[in-house]
A and B are shown apart, each in its own frame.
Chain A
Amino acid sequence: MPTNAPTAEPLVDPDLCDRVLAVALRRGGELAELFAEDRSTHTVTLEDGRVEALRSGRERGVGIRVLRDGRAVYAHTTDLSEDGLLAAAAAAAAAVRHHPGDPRVAILPVDGTARAARIPARSPTEVAAAERLDLLRRADDAARSTSPSVRQVRVGCTDEERRILVVTSEGHRATDRQIRTRFSVTCVAHGDTGPQVGTEAPGRTTGHELFATRPPEEVARTAARRAVGKLRAVPAPSGRMPVVLARGAGGVLFHEACGHGLEADLVDRGASVYAGRLGERVAPAGVTLVDDGGLADDWGSAAIDDEGVPVRRNVLIDDGVLVGYLWDRRSGGRAGRASSGNGRRESFRHLPMVRMTNTFLLPGSEDPAEIIRRTPRGLYCVALGGGQVDTATGDFTFGVTEAYLIEDGRVTAPVRDAQLIGNGPATLAAIDAVGSDFDTWAGTCGKDGQGVPVSAGQPTLRVAALTVGGTAT
């Protein structure tokens, strides 16, 4: 595989940055920001036992943002020549005039110190093609040997190295080098009741060190076991019932059910059910929700956010009481406070906005097995697909991809895929057991058309009542 790795040179020459920022501010504005990005990606996939087309790419680009009175103008370009960058800056400056805003908004300086970028011992760009392909074949073999009913196996490995540079007209300058690896296995198993799918897709902010904790064989067996287990699945129940969420996967429920509603841009627009509720009890005692972009190598981790602000640990709900929101520089400016390090963007093509990083509920003290034993009837959810929320109403849905009936305090038959539906504030208030275990889940969070890597985590939890959308009555 070609090593088209990013080089160690500055993404944009420092003198040129200054000239670009000066042009961007020519027509007014309090703050100009240059965001440069250099991203190299490698993807290998295997399906039907064959290594498919290898894919790789390198994308470099620059975005120039001017903030005036709390409003943003943005121009981005893939032309990184001096002329290209100055033209983009001029385009941003020209748009400032369309832009009367609220002159009371002041963007506060960046505070805090960023930790050093965490660079794994070996960049994935240095991994040879043969080594990547070996990972795929090991997973394929492991999945197929799990059960003869596994007929289709798809394995994929994507790794990327992303360098970013943020320079602002206030003199703030920050860089980061982010390396991410994700491995996914999808199996289709066939049985008397038709085919079923199982997927497992761990991701970490590191290189192929991922495989030290998640060997390809283990990931493959998890996906295969999930597909095979569902061959004897019964139709999912329908109606309201207690739901026990196993550690890890259920974190996405709280990402949807309350995390998005705590993003300050939505709060500020009145588009969140959590607006104006700071200091209020929003969950039972024992429920503490944290967003922390600085965890060692979780999928949503980095040294700085995409506005150059050091990431940090932000407590959002403390023992059931709402204590904080997530902020970027712009929403912080409107509220007279600094960013919490949550200004993120998908790429140089996008304006940053308030985003979660690694968001999780802290473990409590109850024995997970005991939580199930105390549940006479309900649903036990082990793996979840994607979710969705309307932050203005708090209503959310998310898909269950591995779940079991709970009957008489025991986990019994697997059930077919179904949605869970509920209301964020009501669901938080209905948490009635918090386990002592913990795990996380990696995913891509979408908001206004931008996807960013996030993780979600939680201990085993019980929600007293959620609506399960199956077909069994």
Chain B
Amino acid sequence: MKESTKMLLHYTTGIGIEIVGGVHLFTIFLTGPYLQNLAFSGGPYSVIAVYRNSLLAATLELLLIFVAYHALNGIRVILIEFHQGTSWERGVSWVLTATGIMLLVYGTRTILIANALA
């Protein structure tokens, strides 16, 4: 992937996070008492209610993908600004891609299982 494509994706996911992350924060802080919303079950926006709502669960999956890319690419930008060189940049990309895949697999597992919880 070209460097310019990576940075275009960085800015795009940044804007995406502001929208999807806004929804995420809204459901937690502005839909009722914060402690009720962080309880396992109970109110309409309790933890499990949010995951069972497939639309909200989909926004969480989107948020996971956007933030994983944005955060890891941000770390990549910092690390290749610190030091330049083909093998360094390749090593950094490799480690961060592997980290990203693990994060996506684990986070997606949480979302899918929580969505299916009886």
- A and B held together in a complex: no
What is A's interface to B at a CB cutoff of 8 Å?
Answer: none
Q: Which residues of B contact A (CB under 8 A)?
A: none
